[in-house]
Structure 1
Amino acid sequence: MQPSIDVINGKDFRRMIAGAYGAFMREHEYINSLNVFPVPDGDTGTNMLMTLGAVAKAVSEAPDEGIGSLARRGADSAIMGARGNSGVILSQLLRGIARGLSGKDTAASAEVGKAFQYGVLYAYRAVAKPVEGTILTVAKGIAKGAHRAVREHVAFADILTEAINAGKEELKRTPELLPALKAAGVVDAGGYGLIVFLTGCLEGLEGRFSGPEADFGRTLSVPGMTTELNIAHPYCTEFIVKHFAASLNEVKRRLGQMGDSLVLALGEDILKVHIHTAHPGAVLESAITWGTLHDIKIDNMADQHRQTVEMGATAQAKSGLAVISVVSGEGLIEIMKQMGADVVISGGQTMNPPVEEFVAAVHNGPAEKYIILPNNKNILLAAEQAKKLLGDRVAIVPTFNVPQGLAAVVTFDANSDIETNVARMKEAQATVKSGGLTIAVRDSKVEGQTVPEGSYIGVIEGRVVVWADTLEEALTMLVSRLADADAEVVSLYYGAELTEEQAAKLTSKLSEQLEDIEIQVYFGGQPHYQFIVSVE
């Protein structure tokens, strides 16, 4: 049994946010399946996940130790990163929590409980026209449960538990309060999201992180969805007003006449706006008088609805096996696709994609199972974390560079099972010798010798093995190190900093020195590396 926690500090708050983010990683797809009201206006679970992702990143990287300053950082990041109606409401929940914890290094259980009540109040106020049976109904239930627990002077874990239980009772009532939910046979998606948020906070507080037990296989039939959509305000419009200098009541009054689903999230001289309208231009013309406009996003919900209907049958009929590969560079992305990768995530040495990109790729793709090729040691951990969340829907071939990934994907056979493919791909990657050619960014010592900043350096398996003053000399030295007597083909992928003419000239000179080896050159477009070299 977990010990009672009577005082909450910054470390506890960090764990709570991390727990909440992990809970959304586990549950966001299920929340998306509940999102049927009023139209498929983005995905509730994904919007809340991405909003909370901005918070988790800010809180984990912040130097602050006090709970008040951490909560403030989290709230500011939530407002800037908020996505969709549900994300904006979540940002206001966090803003209210930050207000309740303002100026505190630590907080007693009752103080944190009251801060969460503040959060629910702010979330409720963010919606211009509250509708019962939505996230706000659940929010009120949570606030009442927290209030009762605070009065009983219990530990904060017990306050959260009481708030969650009260919220769940209200969540059960949402289909009775909202006919659209009852007709579809579901509860409110945003309300469920609030329960997930609090549950994750409790898990994080107590050190219980349950991401690996994720069940993303759940689906929900949605009777009552039709192919026709008659909507008066078809444009989902979102934007941020910085240096906000207007009356919030006046903004609410003016925008309230222009559409519906209005949500206003106020921060420190920042306003986040979400509205469904028939005239987004008029909305923006009004808003430009309140401050400077940023991150403007306008989506046609009628198009989204039509696409959802058209894709519905496909989404429910996932089958087969496919490959997800990570590469950076326009040319390499195209080559990887031509070689057989169904999904290519942009990333590499200095741009490591987050776990949620892998999760999103699996859920949005047509295949039932996927093999991931990370193609970089720094990306392997994110791929492994995605596998923990997705279970046996994912396998990983631990490729450490692009040539290994290309060798592996060439052997992929969609008609074979995942185990056979993984074994074959691992065997193929082991046959490749590869290296990269880049520029030294600082002076360094290699084998007792000084490699000056600005030198061209050849890297094999993470080690600098050759260096030279000219690109031609360094390329020749690197290929010579990789190409032994059995080498038959050298493939060169030139980067974004080189032109086709420069690459051809260097390749021609290299061919003169390696007469018995076939030299192939391709546009890779990768950053930082003038050449990626593969020898087979």
Structure 2
Amino acid sequence: MRPSDVLDADAVRQWVDVCVRDLRALRAEIDGINVYPVADSDTGSNLLHTITAARDALSGRDVPDAGAALTTAADAAVRAAKGNSGIILSQVLRGMASSAAGSDALDGAALAAALRSADSAATSAVARPVAGTMLSVLHAVSTALDDRDGDTASGVAVLAAKTAAEALANTPNQLAALAVAGVVDAGGRGLVAVLDALVETLTGVRTPVPARTTPHARAGEEPSPRAWEVMYLLTVPDGGGNGTDTAGGLPALRRALSALGDSVTVAEAGEREYAIHVHCADIGAALEAGLDHGRPHRVRVEPLLTPGPAEPAVAAADRAVVAVVRGEALADLVGGEGTPVLVVDADGEPTTEDLLTLVTGTAATHVTVLAGGVRLTAAAERITGHPMLEDRDVVVVPCASPVQVLAALAVHDPGRRAGADVVAMAEAAAATRRGEVVVAAEDAITWVGRVAAGDVVGFIDGEVVLIESGDAGRRVERAATGVLDRMLAVGGELVTVLVGDGAPDGVADVLAEHLRAERPDVELVCYPGGQTDAVLLMGVE
């Protein structure tokens, strides 16, 4: 193999050839570590199938330049892509082809740009990217290649492969399912092989591929399908049709598929054509969703198998607790204690796929969900009976406020039996009285008086208890101490306060001083909450 400092058409061919060779050698190993999102042992096979189609398309075909070679490979890969990993790999090629369009050869700067474009294309195709997967490895490469304009193509390839290997090693720290199984991400392992092949193409130095691999052993009863992997190409009419926004990647179709299952991918496959992928329990519904937007064709359906009783390599964690909250600051607080957390926009709700991914990402058979609000709790409860979770016991602890989530987490004890632990968390949440201090956005009538826009309103357990107007600089403080005094009038030993983004400076100090003077027996803890709908959230235990 000839080393080269540019990626030209011949080098693209050689790269794809080496990818096929190495992914064939690694197929059993990659299949054997495939535990997320479903342990169906096919990621290596799907990657090999996808890249083989790209090689076959280039074989014997006259392509004038690197851009044309990448486009030919990408088009074939998208149409043949199998599985989530195969679609992502096809989008890596498509992103590179888009960046390299019209280029005779890619030097270092152009190759770096192409790999960054690959990251964008692959990430945008996936409805909800998950940390600890093939996408994380690819994004780490993209980030490392910022401002590499002075590098040679071989230097860029070496850096990309090195970064990918490091990111791959970190995937078990990002995704609980991998840590439990003691493996790295299977798709990420395949991507490392693809980048190692690029290094060999440009430098002539081969990265050793293990000669012997150990796939998962399957024994005992034949497993039965838990759900299905549904894949098809979708051709949409001119102008989108049926409200389809082709430029935006069919957002309505993404939402429909996300309501059916997880691992949703809607990837561009050419002009007015998309590659669709979803894991779901209802094949017909997945196809009907496509029919609402265009013409599905080349439909492929494969079973997602629940591992049999003698499946030793994918033993799940017994139980886990996850949280759904609003506000990055609160998410950091909860996540800092090791709890997987989903952050939701201030006025939004989590999608079905968001919640399914949160639950399945734990690899636990018993999952307790703590959702920081009435609407978030209702959204979580809606997915407990989802067909994709039929092999898991999912329990939602009722919480009306983030302070109740914190109270529940404070009593969580992994050493207790699962049922007893859920009861303890539910009791702690229910026993926590909740207060809010908000700034009124408009005029209103309440049972304690008239509220004008801009007034500060105090709530206890969802009921208005006071209204503060007048001096803008002090009314938040007056409302905060007033709500706190009313809550403590019936007892309490611990006050937890989450400070919102709109809170005035020093309000936490004012509360601390007030308690020292009025209730020195009460402990106060304040955290940045990051919420935008309330100036302060309070909990009293």
Q: Match of 1:182? A: 179
| Counterpart check, 1:195 vs 2:192 | yes
* In 1: Cα distance, 2:22 partner to 2:95 partner: 21
Q: Deviations over 1:317-361 (max 9, x none)?
A: xxxxxxxxxxxxxxxxxxxxxxxxxxxxxxxxxxxxxxxxxxxxx
Residues 74-473 of structure 1: pairs in structure 2 closer than 5 A: 74-148=73-147, 150-151=148-149, 153-208=150-205, 215-219=210-214, 234-243=227-236, 245=240, 246-247=244-245, 248-268=250-270, 269-301=272-304, 304-306=305-307
| CA RMSD of superposed structures (Å) | 3.0
CA deviations on 1:62-114 (whole Å, 9 max, x unpaired) are 21121111111111101111011100110111110000001222232211220
Structure 1 residues 214 and 168, CA gap change in structure 2 (3 angstroms)? closer
Q: C-alpha displacement at 1:311, in angstroms?
A: 8.4
TM-superposed deviation, 1:128: 0.6
Q: 1:229 to 1:131 in 2, by over 3 A?
A: farther
Match of 2:194, SS state, is: helix
Residue identity (%) = 30
Amino acid at match of 2:268: L
Q: Matched residue of 2:17: which SS? A: helix
How far apart, in 2, do the equivalents of 1:299 and 1:254 lie?
A: 20
Query: As a proportion of its length, which structure holds more helix?
Result: 1
Aligned counterparts of 1:199 and 1:174: Cα–Cα separation in 2: 18
SS at match of 1:234: strand
Contact 2:70 2:97 in 1 (8 A): yes
Instruction: Report the secondary structure of 2:59's partner residue.
Output: helix
Task: Check conservation: 1:48, 1:90, Cα contact below 8 A.
Answer: yes
Contact (CA 8 Å) 1:241, 1:271: kept in 2 or not?
Answer: yes
Q: Distance in 1 between matches of 2:61 and 2:283?
A: 36
Residue of structure 2 equivalent to 1:45: 44
- SS for the counterpart of 1:61 is coil
Whole-angstrom CA distance in 2 between matches of 1:175 and 1:226: 29
Task: Give the structure 1 partner of residue 57 of structure 2.
Answer: 58
Q: Which amino acid aligns with 1:164?
A: A
After superposition, the C-alpha distances for 1:406-443 in whole angstroms (9 at most, x for unaligned) are: xxxxxxxxxxxxxxxxxxxxxxxxxxxxxxxxxxxxxx
CA gap 1:216/1:296 in 2 versus in 1, 3 angstroms: farther
1:74–1:84: structure 2 CA closer, same or farther, 3 Å change rule?
same
Q: 1:185 to 1:199 in 2, by over 3 A?
A: same
Whole-angstrom distance in 1 between the partners of 2:183 and 2:286? 33
Residue 38 (structure 1) shift: 3.0
Paired residue secondary structure (2:37): coil
Equivalents in 1 of 2:155, 2:176: separation in Å?
34
Point out where structure 1 has 5 or more consecutive residues left out of the alignment. Answer: 314-536
Are the structure 2 counterparts of residues 3 and 39 from structure 1 closer, same or farther at C-alpha, using a change threshold of 3 Å? Answer: closer
- TM-superposed deviation, 1:3: 6.5
User: What letter corresponds to residue 219 of structure 1 in structure 2?
Assistant: T
Counterpart code for 2:132: G
- Matched-pair contact (CA < 8 Å) for 1:146–1:160: no
User: For 1:25 and 1:74, how far apart are their aligned partners in 2?
Assistant: 18
Task: For residue 309 of structure 1, report the CA deviation from its aligned partner.
Answer: 5.5
Shift of 1:278: 2.0
CA 1:226–1:164: 2 relative to 1, 3 Å: farther
What secondary structure does 1:19 align onto? helix
Instruction: Find the aligned partners of 2:183 and 2:224 in 1 and give their Cα distance.
Output: 22
Separation of aligned partners in 2, 1:140 and 1:222: 32
Alignment partners' CA distance in 2, 1:166 and 1:56: 26
> By how many angstroms is 1:200 displaced?
0.9
Q: What is the CA–CA distance in structure 2 between the aligned matches of 1:107 and 1:119, rounded to whole Å?
A: 14
Cα deviation digits, residues 4-45 of structure 1 (max 9, x gap)? 61x432112211222222221222221111102232335111
Contact 1:145 1:167 in 2 (8 A): no
Equivalent position SS for 1:57: helix
* 1:497 match: none
Distance of aligned partners of 1:69 and 1:163 in 2 relative to their CA distance in 1, 3 Å threshold: same
SS in 2 for 1:171: helix
Alpha carbons 2:46, 2:86 under 8 Å: kept: yes
Contact 2:257–2:286 (Cα < 8 Å) also in 1: yes
Retained in 1: the 8 A contact 2:217–2:312? no
Q: Supply the distance in 2 between the matched residues of 1:214 and 1:48 (Cα, whole angstroms).
A: 16
Report how far residue 141 of structure 1 moved. 0.9
Given the superposition, is the C-alpha separation of residues 124 and 169 from structure 1 closer, same or farther in structure 2, using an over 3 Å criterion?
Answer: same
- SS of the residue corresponding to residue 128 of structure 1 reads coil
Question: What corresponds to 1:28 in structure 2?
Answer: 27
Quickly say closer, same or farther: Cα 1:27–1:64, change in 2 above 3 A. same
1:262 aligned counterpart, secondary structure? strand
TM-aligned CA distance change 1:147 to 1:19, over 3 Å:
farther
In structure 1, give the amino acid aligned to 2:203: E
Are 2:2 and 2:201, in contact at CA under 8 Å, matched by a contact in 1?
Answer: no
- What CA distance in whole angstroms lies between the structure 1 residues aligned with 2:193 and 2:89? 12
CA deviations 1:295-328 (Å, max 9, x no partner) are: 2122231xx334x666889xxxxxxxxxxxxxxx
Matching residue of 2:452: none
Contact 2:26-2:213 at 8 Å conserved across structures: no
Asked if structure 1 preserves the Cα contact closer than 8 Å seen for 2:23 and 2:44, the reply is yes
Q: Residues 3 and 68 (structure 1 numbering): CA distance in 2 closer, same or farther, change over 3 Å?
A: closer
Query: Could you say if the C-alpha distance between residues 282 and 9 of structure 1 is closer, same or farther in structure 2, counting changes exceeding 3 Å?
Result: same
TM-score by length of 2: 0.52
SS across alignment from 2:275: strand
Give the AA of the match of 1:217. R
The SS at the match of 1:8 is coil
Residues 209, 163 of structure 1: alpha-carbon distance in 2 compared, 3 angstrom cutoff: closer
Structure-2 separation of matches of 1:23 and 1:156: 21
User: Cα offset for 1:119?
Assistant: 0.6
What secondary structure sits across from 2:306 in the alignment? helix
Contact preservation (8 Å) 2:199, 2:206: no
Measured in 2, the distance between the counterparts of 1:270 and 1:206 equals 37
**For structure 1, which segment, 92-101 or 270-279, has the greater mean C-alpha deviation from structure 2 after superposition?**
270-279
Q: Is the 8 A contact 1:142 1:167 kept in 2?
A: yes
CA distance in 2, matches of 1:34, 1:287: 32
Letter of the structure 2 residue corresponding to residue 305 of structure 1:
T
Which residue identity lines up with residue 40 of structure 1 in the other structure? A
SS at match of 1:241: strand
Tell me what 1:430 maps to: none
- Change in Cα spacing, 1:3 to 1:37, as seen in structure 2 (3 Å) is closer
